[in-house]
Amino acid sequence: MLTLFLIVINVIVTLIYMQKEEPRDFLFFPYLVAKGQGIRGMIYSQFSHMGWGHLIFNMITLYFFGSSLEKVAPGVMLLTYLLAAVGADLATFLFHYKDPNYASLGASGSVAGVLFASIVFFPDNSIIIFPLPIPIPAPIFAIIYIAGSIYMARSEHRTVNHEAHIGGAIVGFFIGALTAPAGLSGILDYFKGLFS
C-alpha cells in the first residue's frame, strides 16, 4: 500500500510539472539552495519526472523492489525512500552547488535507495536488467550499478544525475544493513561463497 501511495504521489506531481509553463519550482537547483533559495524545488524534484519514460521506468522499479521490501518492513521502505531522497540531494548539491545552470529532477535517487535496501534484505535474489534476459545475483548487480554510476558521472556529456543515484543507493544500503534481520551477513556469505 505504501509503495502504491508513493507511486500515486509521483504520478500526480509529475502531471502537475508537465502542465506548468514555467516549472522551475519542480527542479532542484543546487546553486540556488546554496544561497538559501529553491527549497521547494528541491523537495518537489524528488517526485517529478522529465517525461513519461523517466516516470514509468522509475515507478516500475519502485513497484517491484518497494513492494517486496514493504512486505517484510513497510516502515523501512518508506524511511528508505525519504532518506535516500535526502542522500541523493546531498550528493547532487556537493558536486553541483557552484554551477548556476545545473538543475535536476526525478525520484531515481529514492528508487535507488529502495533498490539497495532490498538487495541487503534479499541478497539471494537475482535482478534482470531490461532488455537483457540474464539474471544477475543481487550483490553483483549492486557492484555493477555503483561502478557504472561512478564511471558515467565522470562523463562530460551526460544528462543523467548519476550523483543522485549513488547518494540514494548508499543511503539505502546502510539503512538495509542497520535494519535487515541478517544485516550484511547474507551479502558477505555470498561473496565468501565465490571464493571458497
The CB density around residue 162, as the number of other CB atoms within 10 Å, is: 21
Using CA atoms, how far apart are residues 151 and 187, in angstroms rounded to an integer? 23
CATH code, 49: 1.20.1540.10
C-alpha cell at 13: 506531481
Please name every residue paired with 30 in a beta bridge, in sequence order, or none if there are none.
Answer: none
- Which residues of 7-137 form beta strands (DSSP E)? 126-128, 135-137
Q: What does pTM read for this prediction?
A: 0.94
Give the relative orientation of helices 108-121 and 185-194 as an angle to the nearest 10 degrees: 70
C-alpha radius of gyration, the chain, whole number: 17
Kindly tell me if the per-residue pLDDT of 11 is higher than 90: yes
Domain count, the chain: 1
Mean pLDDT to the nearest integer, 12-16? 96
What's the domain range around 129?
A: 2-194
Task: Give CA–CA dist 31/83, Å, rounded.
Answer: 21
pLDDT in tens, 72-111: 999 999 999 999 999 999 999 999 999 999 999 999 999 9
Q: For 24-76, how does the pLDDT look when each residue is reduced to its tens digit (9 = 90+)?
A: 889 999 999 999 999 999 999 999 999 999 999 999 999 999 999 999 999 99
